Amino acid sequence: MNKTDKNIVLKLRSAGVRATKQRIAVMECLSENSKHYSAEEIYDKLKEEIPSLSQGSVYHILDVFCEKGLAKRLSVEKGPKRFDVTDTPHHHLVCNESNEVFDYFDEDLTGLIKKYLREKPIQGFDVTDIELQLRGKRKV
């Protein structure tokens, strides 16, 4: 087991999730880069490596990860749901043409929103998380 796998095992166990081969592989796939995979893409990526993995298993694993706070489902207008595992507070850029989702890290922006909400709290609502989604066209 490599160092990445050990870190994933610790992360899963600390969230109260059994660290099975399938769960480790799904978390590794989600963590490997900043791409926000759909369940179908994860299944396609892992099916040869883990022949016993079914698409239903991937959906179940992702549900467990979301329930335990290990992943988030991203709201995208079209196409399949995508998933994110980045712990660092960030926002998302969604390309209207490709439906790709990109992480956008900007502490200043998050700070401005927090400051605004302190000065103008929303009546009857406690904000627990800030995640801004910006839509547009990716420049190549």
Give the residue numbers of the binding site for Zn(2+).
Answer: 95
Reported in sequence order, the residue ranges of 13-108 that DSSP labels E, i.e. its strands, are 72-74, 82-84, 91-95, 101-104
Annotated binding site: 95
- Residue 19 CA, chain-centre distance (Å), reads 18
Token pair listed for 73? 């489902």
- Which residues, including other chains, have CB under 8 Å from residue 91's CB and lie 6 or more apart? 103, 104, 105, 106, 109, 110, 131, 132, 133, 134
Question: Is there a contact between 95 and 136 (Cβ–Cβ < 8 Å)?
Answer: yes
Question: Is there a contact between 105 and 88 (Cβ–Cβ < 8 Å)?
Answer: yes
